[in-house]
Amino acid sequence: MALGVYLSFRVLAFPDLSVDGTFPLGAAVAGILILRGVNPFWAALAGGGAGFLAGALTGVLATRLRIPGLLAGVLTMIMLYSLNLRIMGRPNLALLGKPSVLSGLAQALSLPRGYGNLVASGIFCFIAAVLLLLFLHTELGAAMRASGQNPTLVRALGTNPANLQILGLALSNGLVALSGALVAQYAGFADVGMGVGTIVAGLASVIVGELLLRPRSLLGAISAVIVGSVVYRMAISVALRYGAALGFTASDLRLVTALVVLGALAAPALRAALKGEGS
């Protein structure tokens, strides 16, 4: 999921809020297909494909209809809420006891269910990161990176930056929806509200990773996203586990997430201020 957010916010420099809708979209599509007997692997890919189309819609709204990017993402997110309800037929789907691509991979590796699901998730994350890295090193990927930084230059080279933005947003939301499909299979349910806060969690992962690793290359940037995602999840887990003494409960997850993002964003300014006082 964080890789998709990185692609839209860092590579394309596009404030895409539609990921809060494409995450449950992937879960909804995968969940309903699994309940109808479809192989969980193909169900997950179908969920990612649905997110791809939703991301392309956001791109079309922003580039063809000239709707501001922030508003285009919000409009897509609102539409997807109703669409997700339509797909599932109800607010949530129970997938407990149903086959999942994670448990299938864990069985293929002869690993225990809990530990195996974790390893399988890591394998999928690694594959997605490698594929994204390879794509961004292609000619098309390089043009996409350039379009986010200098669309005028890309246009001067004979490439339409609008098309690159549409493709980039489609890929970004496809990754987010694929993540939603895998999370639904791992958790055993799909819920129409499971995407709330996805954008904040993704941004937190990106920002925390960049603060920790300070990447100077594309490989470093993608590695930072993965590291930041793990560190963010660990920070949230620790905060909720030991925050009981401060009165935190599971319902305070969004508050804790916002505080983590706030701390990560404020860290550079605080560090500079401290250096200024020291000198």
Whether residue 228 is found in the same domain as residue 110: no
Same domain, 174 and 236: no
Residue type, 60: V
Segment 9-19 mean pLDDT: 93
- pLDDT of the residue at 277: 66
* Confidence class for position 217, pLDDT limits 50, 70, 90: very high
- Count how many domains the chain has: 2
Strand bridging mode 92-94 / 189-191 = antiparallel
pTM of the full predicted structure? 0.91
Report the pLDDT value the prediction gives residue 140, as an integer from 0 to 100.
92
Whole-number pLDDT of residue 114: 64
The pLDDT value recorded for residue 83 is: 96
The mean pLDDT value for 176-183 works out to 95
- Residue 232's pLDDT band, with cuts at 50, 70 and 90, is confident
Please indicate, yes or no, whether residues 89 and 127 belong to a single structural domain of this protein: yes
Position 79 scores a pLDDT of 96
Residue range 4-31: average pLDDT? Answer: 95
Q: Give the model's confidence band at 97: pLDDT under 50 very low, under 70 low, under 90 confident, else very high.
A: confident
Q: What percent of the chain has pLDDT over 90?
A: 58
What residues have CB less than 8 Å from 189, skipping those under 6 apart? 31, 92, 93, 94, 95, 96
pLDDT of residue 271: 78
Instruction: Average the pLDDT over 82-105 and give the result.
Output: 91
Q: Is residue 279's pLDDT more than 60?
A: no
Boundary residue ending a domain (144, 172, 192): 192
112 and 228 co-located in one domain: no
107: Cα separation from own chain's centroid: 27
- My answer on whether 85 and 152 are in the same domain is yes
Judge if 29 and 115 occupy the same domain: yes
What pLDDT sits at residue 130? 95
Bridge partner list, 235: none
107-160 pLDDT, tens digit each: 887 777 667 778 888 888 999 999 999 999 999 999 999 998 888 888 888 889
Tokens linked to 77: 């997110």
Say whether pLDDT at 278 is over 70.
no
Task: Give Cβ neighbours of residue 67 (< 8 Å, ≥ 6 apart).
Answer: 61, 75
SS3 string of 190-242? EECCCCCCHHHHHHHHHHHHHHHHCCCCHHHHHHHHHHHHHHHHHHHHHHHHH
Q: Could you tell me the residue range of the domain that residue 41 belongs to?
A: 1-192
Same domain, 140 and 165: yes
pLDDT at site 41 = 93
Q: Please, which pLDDT band fits residue 267 given cuts at 50, 70 and 90?
A: confident
Residues 128, 132, 135: CA angle, nearest 5 degrees = 140
User: CB within 8 A of 43, min separation 6: which ones?
Assistant: 29, 30, 31, 33, 34, 181
